[in-house]
A and B are shown apart, each in its own frame.
Chain A
């Protein structure tokens, strides 16, 4: 079980958090001019990297903040952790 250093609450068990997926996904700025293909890419397609992955987690049972974490998908080693909104 991961120990996630929440910038507000300190190190907390993974069970307090909800995984929110790849932090690198950007919502298209103008959805209506985005092609079907680009839009479905945004909706459905995600990389599955071996190694460092920037991802979103929501501290549901804590401060209700979305945080962005770097996690090595092979070892669960964590890199930088920061608030997503900043």
Chain B
């Protein structure tokens, strides 16, 4: 194990030096402390190369401090535990952590792909577009695998991620995005005013910029003031504090997403990521600012980093990014950074300030000097400084150092403001893009709004928090705002150095200043096009550190003001969110509610094999010892047709319709006439969509003068209710009709088969089941098996059949009592497979046939449409398109070869050769019919009814199978319906 050569003797408010941790990086073991990030641990250990760049495989080191990090992308864990493309700056060190650098082989320290760096000049902007044009075949065979091996990030994990991800939804008066001084002040003001506050910050500790650099608030340490404020907020039950939680997206109507990465050391059951959906009345955007890079040759070398990050590692972790530093920049922050580093034990080689002026006496200042080049390849060994106003031929001065802290000024974090469609204003004088008019209900504060002094951040945050609380109706007194003596703004003039060499703008995607200039020369003007052409800002860091520089360079190259160039669109998420977190609750068991019928316990105890029908589960068949699935289903059919069977039809949609105008309404929503139905009678009904296509079917019973009960298909329960309510509420509101979905209120079972009458006769001895007393399509209230029930005489199977409905609470009792009563009849429970076989044999249509394209006539149900009444869909049936010849019509197909079986997905064709040709039609339902001893099918076939008696071919081009079949009427079984009358 290696010690921590770059850990300062003291300091580091985030680390606990009493708790050392071991971790592995690229197979080497290192030591860090509790509280370290992987980035600080690696820096403390002296690991300088932590990644290889995307395109050129150049060695890269830690650049930033948090989510803005463009370089230090790593994979943690191996195989199924592997998580790729994580930022080392955001990973909390834990004992035994295994991490790997990415985009390198065999390791980031020794990478074969690095040789590409030598040929780097061959890969300018648009390289892929220009080089890999032809031949197109070459793309998949050659270029793509090559590019994929050379470019890209971490490998996809080898197995599904079995970590736990979660979602949570919350309403808030005020969401505060960012927990720096402005955000904490805002949260405190809003919470004291009485608002329900959610405060989210991406770091492990609240404090924002104060984590990296000390500041003074209320005559004390700034971070101590933050801690006190957080402690006060923690006592308030209406405040929710989220650490390591990044506000990632701002959506319509103030819905924001927050990706929280809980520290799983706290408790093992916490999710890897918890995605919050916060609906906030008002939002304070206090997400701070990102430090800008300086554009000099070699500004990507390991050891060249953001100045505030370099300060942050020293202040927060007691970690030094090197022994000797050159601090370079264009604003006052360089002096504070240099003093902080010096205090932590770093030698200050030079402080290069691009501005002219006096400098400060305690530091080796070079006023009016800039970095021209960073020297060194695997890590920085020095810099070449030159005068900012000098001529190119002026000789520079080389200064040795082992890291460079660069401060190019600050870019406000505009992402959330812009995602909410707020406008952006360019402040030419300050060189800043600032939030303009707000899109949603929000306000920006602090550095995110261009206030860079601590006192200004506190004041603005406090005011924003108060305003947000007021706008959400909370006005309790809050006391005076916190103050700070730190009032220096530290703005940086816009100055992007121009010089030769590899000046990286986008470190993550290896986009250089030359690439942007080339794009402009080649005619690209729109910033959106330049982004796509050069890949600027397209990495996982989404241009946090690069977009401003790119924008200015492009504007300069095009010779137009920055304000005219504009920015690329800011889209969520602000930082990468694992898809697993978005999918939490949407995959696997528990995704949907499971609907079970009242008899489900019995089915389960019976070992039924279930199938999904919407959210319902229904028995497919009931397995029998020693019998295959197919044999079992055949047996269920045979025994029902030959004796008596019972099937659970509790899943059918059921609607109770009442009201003075119920009859009028039912005539309008069904294609056939319902109003003539007598009390105690039922009728099959066909429902159309307004465009004339068959929508649903079912049975309507009339229970009283103004009282009806109708069934829908299982699949369309909700759609039919929506349709009924649409018509009642928007089209015919004058009708007095009340529709209630009573699907859950009733359970129903059907007894089917020639033996059903005898069995029901014993179960309901008071009920007269004679044809005269209880004819087909009649409904009776009766006591069945001791339970109050409605009995309908109707048939789906084609056999004599009764459907018995009882209140759902009695469903299981009905089912089990009928089963035991039926023991002497050999009563056979059957599932959806047997039910399906019998309905195909009987030629009943389902949604396989009524597929949203078929009219009643297509399905052979044209005669059901009542000619002498109005109704939904009726008018459309007269449209020319629905009457023209050549429409596909429902027919039966009887396969001639009794051994043949129909595969799924078949077409109907004139010939068996399966040459490409428009088919005659397609199979909608098929089965092996045990009744006829051959495969049969229902099909929609062009002019199908006219083909009755002809031979067609059922073809399956996917499997190469084909079989001849005779076209027959769709009702195979008992076309006269004599069996229904038993």
Q: Quote the shortest CB–CB distance from A49 to chain B (angstroms).
A: 18
- Alpha-carbon distance between A61 and B44 when the two chains are bound, in angstroms: 55
Nearest-CB residue, chain A, relative to B741:
A64
- Report if A31-B874 is in contact (Cβ < 8 Å); known contacts: A3-B279, A18-B722: yes
Residues of B within 8 A of A18 (CB): 722
Q: Which chain A residue shows the least CB distance to B723? A: A58
Residue of B nearest to A40 (CB): B879
**Stretch from B248-256, B673-681, B939-947, B963-971 forming part of the interface with A:** B248-256
User: In whole angstroms, what is the CA distance A31 to B690 when docked?
Assistant: 11
Asked if B901 is at the interface of the complex by the 8 Å CB criterion, the answer is no
Instruction: Check: A73 CB closer than 8 A to any chain B CB.
Output: no
Residues of A within 8 A of B731 (CB): 27
5 closest A-B pairs by CB: A31-B875, A3-B253, A85-B729, A66-B729, A85-B733
- What B residues does A2 contact at CB under 8 A? 252-253
From 254 to 299 in chain B, residues with beta carbon under 8 angstroms from any chain A beta carbon are 254-255, 279
In Å, the complex CA distance between A31 and B718 comes to: 27
Give A10-38 as 1s and 0s: 1 = Cβ < 8 Å from B's Cβ atoms: 00010000101001000110011010100
Residue of A nearest to B726 (CB): A66
Q: A64-B721, A75-B421 are in contact. Are A39 and B876 (CB under 8 A)?
A: yes
- With a CB–CB cut-off of 8 A, which chain A residues contact B26? none
Query: Number of B residues whose C-beta is below 8 Å from A?
Result: 26
Bound together, the chains give a CA A76 to CA B730 distance in angstroms of: 23
| Min distance, Cβ A26 to any Cβ of chain B, angstroms | 9
Interface residues of B in 855-888 (CB under 8 A from A): 870, 874-876, 878-880
- Beta-carbon contact of B879 and A1 below 8 Å: no
Q: Tell me, in angstroms, the Cα distance from A64 to B723 when the chains sit together.
A: 11
Whole-angstrom distance between the Cβ of B884 and the nearest chain A Cβ: 13
Tell me the smallest distance from the CB of B968 to a CB of chain A, in Å.
35
Q: Is A46's beta carbon under 8 Å from chain B?
A: no
With A13-B279, A43-B876 given, name 19 new contacts (CB 8 A).
A1-B255, A3-B279, A23-B730, A36-B878, A36-B879, A39-B875, A39-B876, A39-B879, A56-B726, A60-B722, A65-B725, A65-B729, A66-B725, A66-B729, A83-B729, A84-B730, A84-B733, A85-B729, A85-B733
Please list 29 pairs of residues, one from A and one from B, whose beta carbons are closer than 8 Å in the complex, sorted by A's number.
A1-B252, A1-B253, A2-B252, A3-B255, A13-B279, A18-B722, A20-B726, A23-B730, A28-B875, A31-B875, A32-B875, A36-B879, A36-B880, A39-B875, A39-B879, A43-B690, A43-B876, A56-B726, A58-B722, A58-B725, A58-B726, A64-B721, A64-B725, A66-B729, A75-B421, A83-B729, A84-B729, A84-B730, A85-B728
- Please name the residue on chain B nearest to A32 by beta carbon: B875
Q: Is B656 an interface residue (CB 8 A)?
A: no
- Complex CA gap A72/B801 in Å reads 55
Instruction: Determine the main DSSP class of B at the interface with A.
Output: helix
The interface residues of chain B lying within 8 Å CB-to-CB of A65 are 725, 729
Question: Which chain B positions have C-beta within 8 A of A13?
Answer: 279
Min CB–CB distance A45 → chain B (angstroms): 13
Contact B252 A32 (CB under 8 A): no
B639 sits at the interface (CB 8 A): no
A79: min CB distance to chain B, Å:
13
Q: How far is the CA of A34 from the CA of B878 in the complex (A)?
A: 11
- CB-CB under 8 A from B251, the residues of chain A are 1
Residues of chain A lying within 8 A (CB to CB) of residue B726: 20, 56, 58, 66
Binding site for B on A (CB under 8 A): 1-3, 13, 18, 20, 23, 27-28, 31-32, 34, 36, 39-40, 43, 56, 58, 60, 64-66, 75-76, 83-85
Tell me how far the C-beta of A47 lies from the nearest C-beta in chain B, rounded to whole angstroms. 18
Contacts of A58 in B (CB 8 A): 722, 725-726
Q: A76 and B729: CB pair below 8 A?
A: no
CA distance A2 to B880 in the complex (A): 41
Contact A76/B253 with A34-B875, A36-B880 known, Cβ cut-off 8 Å: yes
* B870 in contact with A32 (CB, 8 Å): yes
When C-beta atoms are compared, the residue in chain B nearest to A33 turns out to be B875
Q: Once the chains are docked, how many angstroms separate the CA of A64 from the CA of B739?
A: 11
Q: Is the CB of A31 within 8 A of B722?
A: no
Asked whether B718 lies within 8 Å of A60 as measured between CB atoms, the reply is yes
The CA-CA distance from A1 to B725 in the complex, in Å, is: 25
Whether A85 pairs with B730 at a CB distance below 8 angstroms is yes
Q: Which chain A positions have C-beta within 8 A of B691? A: 43
- Of the candidates A20, A31, A75, the one having the most CB atoms from chain B within 10 angstroms of its own CB is A31
What separation, in Å, do the CA atoms of A45 and B982 have in the docked complex?
52
- The smallest beta-carbon distance between A81 and chain B, in angstroms, is 13
Q: Which residue of B lies closest to A42 (CB)?
A: B690
User: Which residues of the partner chain A approach B874 to less than 8 Å between Cβ atoms?
Assistant: 31
Task: Report chain B residues within 8 Å CB of A75.
Answer: 421
Given A1-B251, A43-B691, A60-B722: A66 and B730 interface contact (C-beta under 8 Å) = yes
The CA of A84 and the CA of B733, in the complex, are separated in Å by 9
Question: In chain B, what residue has the closest Cβ to A25?
Answer: B730
Q: How far is the CA of A43 from the CA of B692 in the complex (A)?
A: 10
Segment 238-253 of B: residues with Cβ below 8 Å from A: 251-253
Using Cβ atoms and an 8 Å threshold, which residues of chain B touch A39? 875-876, 879
Enumerate chain B residues within 8 angstroms of A28, measured Cβ to Cβ: 875
- A72 to B182 CA separation, bound complex (whole angstroms): 33
- Bound together, the chains give a CA A42 to CA B486 distance in angstroms of 67
CA distance A56 to B880 in the complex (A): 30
Whether A31 contacts B870 by the Cβ 8 Å rule is yes
Which residues of B are found within 8 Å of A66, using beta-carbon distances?
725-726, 729-730
The CA-CA distance from A32 to B691 in the complex, in Å, is 14
Neighbouring A residues of B870 by C-beta, 8 Å: 31-32
Q: Mark B725-754, 1 if CB is under 8 A from A, else 0.
A: 110111101000000000000000000000
Bound: A60/B832 CA distance, A: 28
Closest-CB distance, B523 to chain A (whole angstroms): 31
Residue of chain B at shortest CB distance from A68: B730
CA–CA, A40 and B251, complex, Å: 37
CB nearest neighbor in B for A44? B691
Tell me the nearest residue of chain B to A18, going by C-beta.
Answer: B722
**Proximity string of chain B (704-736) to chain A, C-beta cutoff 8 Å, 1 when within and 0 when not:** 000000000000001001100110111101000
Residues of A near B254 (CB, < 8 A) are: 3
Q: In the complex, which residue of chain A has the Cβ closest to the Cβ of B718?
A: A60
Cβ contacts under 8 Å, B252 to chain A: 1-3, 76
Residue ID in chain B nearest A59 by CB atoms: B725
Residues in B neighbouring A84, C-beta threshold 8 A: 729-730, 733
- Distance A56 CA – B254 CA, assembled complex (angstroms): 22
Q: Could you mark each residue 759-789 of chain B with 1 if its beta carbon is under 8 Å from any beta carbon of chain A, else 0?
A: 0000000000000000000000000000000
Q: A20 — which chain B residues lie within 8 A by C-beta?
A: 726
Measured between alpha carbons, how far is A36 from B876 in the docked complex, in Å? 8
Task: Name B874's closest neighbour in chain A (CB-CB).
Answer: A31
Q: How far is the CA of A39 from the CA of B690 in the complex (A)?
A: 10
| Residues of chain B within 8 A of A34, CB atoms compared | 875
Question: For the complex, what is the distance from the CA of A31 to the CA of B692, rounded to whole Å?
Answer: 13
Minimal Cβ-Cβ distance residue in B for A58: B722
Residues of B within 8 A of A56 (CB): 726, 730
| A6 to B: closest C-beta gap in Å | 14
B237 CB, min distance to chain A CBs, angstroms: 23
Contacts of A1 in B (CB 8 A): 251-253, 255
Kindly identify, within residues 91 to 124 of chain B, every residue whose CB is under 8 Å from any CB belonging to chain A.
none
In the assembled complex, the CB of B456 is this many whole angstroms from the nearest CB of chain A, namely 31
- Give, as a whole number of angstroms, the nearest-CB distance from B877 to chain A: 11
CA gap between A27 and B730 in the complex, in Å = 10
Among B251, B875, B878, chain A packs the most CB atoms within 10 A around the CB of B875
Chain B contacts with A in 806-842, Cβ cutoff 8 A? none
- Within 8 Å CB of A31, what residues of B? 870, 874-875
For the complex formed, measure the closest distance between the CB of A61 and the CB atoms of chain B, giving whole angstroms: 10
Measured in the bound complex, the distance between the Cα atoms of B876 and A39 in whole Å is 8
Chain B residue nearest to A23 (CB atoms) is: B730
Closest A residue to B421 by beta carbon equals: A75
- Which chain B positions have C-beta within 8 A of A76? 252-253
User: What is the distance, in angstroms, from B642's C-beta to the closest C-beta of chain A?
Assistant: 44
Q: Give the shortest distance, in Å, between B670 (CB) and chain A (any CB).
A: 16
Chain A hits for B730, CB < 8 A: 23, 56, 66, 84-85
Within the complex, what minimum Cβ distance (angstroms) separates A42 from chain B? 8
